[in-house]
Structure 1
Amino acid sequence: MARKGVLLRREEIIDAMVEQISARGIAATRVADVASAMGVSTGLIFYHFETKEALLAAAFPRAMQHDMDDLAKIVARRSSAAARLNAVIKLYSPAGGAPGWRLWIDGWAAALRDPGLVQAMRDIDNIWRTAVRDLIVEGNEASEFSCRNPEVSAARITALLDGLAVQKVVRGAGPTPTERKRWIDEVLEFELQAG
């Protein structure tokens, strides 16, 4: 059997890491777990990634890719900025078991001790905040909104959603879904000055 290409093997390792951090959590996942799941030695993993942290920095964006793809699809729709912003807010908000939020919150925690993960987290967070900001700008231009500072409003809106997600996912507390929706609607109305 021919040896797999270096790039293919690297991609397989990243995929295996995504599976392991999704199942075990970031802190509990060891390089040995990834190697075991693949049926290879840890040496092969370390050949491609010098450290667990380097592997995690490569894997985390891929773990969030499904949400990023959904975000891009919403932004690309041919509907009003308000309708797309509401869809983005709904996607961003924690619902059900919120597996994406569990991983996101796990990533924040790991980034406190892993400088390599910090940039990956910032990049993903920036994609979300930029999408919200751009939709606000577009809504302003279409006279759907009258927001004075889209950058600041996008930061406040996403900060609220982050906080609500932490309450729901980590603490299992916070407002009910009905209350959460009302709070978000009130903040959107305040921030967007929508008429």
Structure 2
Amino acid sequence: MSREARRAQLIASTIDTLATRGYSRTTLTDVARAAGLSHGLVLFHFETKEKLLAETLNFLAEEYRQNWQAALAQAGDDPAEQLNALIEADFNPAICTPGRLAAWCSFWGEAQSRPLYQQACGEKDDAYNLQLEAICQRLSDAGGYGRDARHVARVIRVTIEGTWLDLMTMTAPYSPDEALTTVRTCAALCFPDHFTPEGLVPLRAREPR
């Protein structure tokens, strides 16, 4: 395998290991075992556990950024369509997998990982939040809702994050489809002329305020 392919293989194994062992208990030996490779080969590519975890988090953060930006680029200019695209992007089967969700939870849940998370994700999180707020502001203005876009965006964002946690931690977790319905219900409470729990209200059916 090429160097890049081997590193990608090890990052994928790290995601799987984080899902089963958590942040603090993950070791290079665990990752090597999951990949079916030697401990020395992991050291050759990443040198330390800290560098491997940093690269894994960078991979997850960049994958997430590309996912929501691609969804937004296909949504057109309508703010309701854009908000719907951002919501649905978080439940794209390519990123909303048990292994990835558990890996994210590992990085979120360990105090020692917070500086690493801020370094890898701080600017990307800020960009996402500003984009979400701008869309909510445009939708509030267009629909005559008079909402505080900053608070609405925060409510929608923490609802998404909460359903991600539910998918990982509940004794009897619900499906990603149910999680998506939950977030759409939140959007419907904020923008009732544009959303229902089932999805986006068609343009022709929207009631002007």
TM-score over 0.5 for the pair:
yes
Q: Identify the residue that residue 153 of structure 1 maps to in structure 2.
A: 152
- Answering whether residue 56 of structure 2 is matched by residue 59 of structure 1, we say yes
Return closer, same or farther for 1:150/1:17 CA change in 2, 3 Å cut-off.
Answer: farther
Deviation at 1:76, TM superposition (A): 1.7
SS at match of 1:29: coil
Work out the CA distance in 1 between the residues paired with 2:43 and 2:98. Answer: 34
1:70-110 Cα offsets, whole Å, 9 max, x none, are 21112222242211211211222486744432222122123
Residue 74 of structure 1, aligned match among 71, 74, 82: 71
Q: Identify the residue that residue 21 of structure 1 maps to in structure 2.
A: 14
Select between 90-99 and 149-158 the one with higher mean Cα deviation. 90-99
- Answering whether residue 129 of structure 2 is matched by residue 129 of structure 1, we say yes
Q: How does 1:77-116 map to 2 (within 5 A)?
A: 77=74, 78-93=76-91, 97-110=97-110, 112-116=111-115
Work out the CA distance in 1 between the residues paired with 2:130 and 2:49. Answer: 30
SS at match of 1:114: helix
8 Å contact from structure 1 (residues 94, 165) kept in 2: no
Q: Identify the residue that residue 4 of structure 1 maps to in structure 2.
A: none
Select between 54-63 and 115-124 the one with higher mean Cα deviation. 115-124
Uncovered stretches (5+) of structure 2, i.e. residues with no partner: 194-206
Return closer, same or farther for 1:15/1:152 CA change in 2, 3 Å cut-off.
Answer: same
Q: Identify the residue that residue 3 of structure 1 maps to in structure 2.
A: none
Q: Aligned Cα RMSD in Å?
A: 3.5
8 Å contact from structure 1 (residues 94, 101) kept in 2: no
Identity %: 18
Uncovered stretches (5+) of structure 1, i.e. residues with no partner: 1-7
8 Å contact from structure 1 (residues 54, 116) kept in 2: no
8 Å contact from structure 1 (residues 107, 121) kept in 2: no
Q: Identify the residue that residue 167 of structure 1 maps to in structure 2.
A: 166
Which amino acid is the alignment partner of residue 60 of structure 1?
L
Q: Across the two proteins, how many residue pairs are aligned to each other?
A: 182
TM-score (norm 2): 0.66
Deviation at 1:127, TM superposition (A): 4.1
Work out the CA distance in 1 between the residues paired with 2:65 and 2:163. Answer: 20
